[in-house]
Amino acid sequence: MIYDVALNIRYDYTGAAAGGRHLLRITPLDVPKRQRLIAALIDIHPQPSERRNWIDFFGNPTVEFAFRDAHDHVGVALKARIERLEGETQQGLFSNLGDMKSLIEQSRDLGPFSPLHFTAPSARVPALPEIADYAAQVRQGLPDRVSCEQVVAAIGDALHRDIRFDAKATTVDTPMAEAFEKRHGVCQDMSHIMIAALRSLGIPAGYVSGFLRTIPPAGKPRLEGADAMHAWICAWCGPDAGWMDFDPTNNCFAGLDHIEVARGRDYTDVSPVKGILRVAGRQTSRQAVDVIPVTG
């Protein structure tokens, strides 16, 4: 499946910003056998006085840019074409939950995909006893000998049942604990809660940001720019199965509709725009996403 993706982000400041430095993590990933990046172009205005690209620790393409002069807005536009591939099926190779501790301990890998980075609490996913208790209850409902994939699916089912999707209930800064306590949130909250649940059971889990193809209701036209960036989780299911992506918002394993942009321990590692501004007034932001299938 080939997609054209367009992302437009704009920040407006009520008072002029004296200068600023930002990081972008919005370029779709190129992952062998799963996702091919055909082309990507990022346009930034006003023209930044500095701009550099690099790959971060987790393998995400990162753009750093800075403004020296006063400016009252920042606009970022991404246009990309990618091909999403089926990947391999991993049936039968998932490790058992009971073996995870020793499997992780055997790892001597500190590379970006090592499960070891994804076991400990992280900035946006602290260890929360309430979530650990919740996950333990789900675990109790499963057979003693259970594969990681079954655990991931069971946690996904439980969250889908218990956490209400509400696009207005939380913001990008809402702490995970608050979203869990109120049992509502958006894809970011769902993903953080699921990561915390899996880690508490001993399954290494991380955060994936990306785009989701949305299918308009039958007979209705696709609305341009109606979508936002999406987020889901990845879980390490043992050395043979490796990483599996699961979308807690839609309660499904990630597939051909999911376009990957960045991976990390939680939102902090992958936030699409991270910036430090010297600005006096308030700021407002807008984001618009289009995901258009080019071929079936």
Partner 1 sequence: MFDNYRPLQGVPDELCDASGRMRPGWAGLINHLSRLGPDEITHDFARGDQYLTDAGVFFRSYGDTTLSGRDWPFSPVPIILPDGEWSSIAAGLIQRAELLEQVVADLYGPNTLVSGGHLPAALIAQNPEWLRPMVGVKPHSGHFLHFVAFEIGRGPDGRWWVLSDRTDAPSGAGFALENRVAAARVFPELFRKTNVHRLAGFFRAFREGLDHLRRDPAARIGILTPGPLTDTYYEQAYIARYLGLNLLAGEDMTVQDGRLQIRTVQGLVPVEVLWRRMDSGWTDPLELASQSQIGTPGLVSAIRQGQVTMVNALGAGVLETQALMAFLPKISKFLTGERLALPNVATWWCGQDAELAHVRANANRMMIGPALSNRMPFETSAAHAVAGQMRGADGQSLDNWLTANAAQLVGQELVTLSTTPVFDNGELVPRPMTIRVFLARTPSGWQVMPGGFGRIGAGQDATAIAMRSGGSVADVWVVSDKPVDPVSMLSSSDAPFQRAQSGPLPSRAADNFFWLGRYVERSEGILRLVRAYHSRLDEAATEPLLALIRDLLATMGTDAAQALPNGLQATLTSAVNSASQIRDRFSVDGWAALKDVEKSMNRIALTARPGTDAALVMSVLLRKIAGFSGLVHENMYRAAGWQFLTIGRSLERAAMMAELLAAATGSDAPEGALDLAIEIGDSIMIHRQRYAVTTTRSTVVDMLALDPQNPRSIRFHLMSIRHRVEDLAIARPHAQLSDFERQVLELDTRVAVHSVETLDTGALTALRGDILALSTALHDAHLH
Q: Is 43 in the site for partner 1 (CB under 8 A)?
A: no
What angle do the packed helices 187-200 and 129-140 form, to 10 degrees? 70
Give the residue with the Cβ less far from partner 1, 52 or 286.
52
99: contact with partner 1 by CB under 8 A = no
Q: Within 229-288, which residues bind partner 1 (CB under 8 A)?
A: 268, 274-276
Region for 85 from its dihedrals, namely left if φ exceeds 0, alpha if ψ lies in -120 to 50, beta otherwise? beta
Using the rule CB under 8 A, which residue among 8, 90, 96, 114 binds partner 1?
Answer: 114
Alpha helices in the chain (DSSP H): 100-106, 129-140, 148-162, 176-182, 187-200, 267-270
43, 50, 69, 130: which one contacts partner 1 (CB under 8 A)? 50
d(CA 11, CA 273) in angstroms, rounded, equals: 10
Q: Does 107 bind partner 1 (CB under 8 A)?
A: yes
Q: What is the DSSP letter of 147?
A: B
Q: How far is the CB of 39 from partner 1 (least distance, A)?
A: 26
Quickly tell me which residue has 């259970």 as its tokens. Answer: 146
Chain mean position to CA 200: 19
23 near partner 1 (CB under 8 A): yes
Measure CA of the first residue to CA of the last residue in the chain; give whole Å: 6
The verdict on 133 binding partner 1 (CB under 8 A) reads: no
Residues that bind partner 1 (CB under 8 A): 18-19, 21-23, 49-50, 52, 54, 56-58, 64, 66, 68, 104-105, 107-110, 114, 116-117, 119-120, 123, 268, 274-276
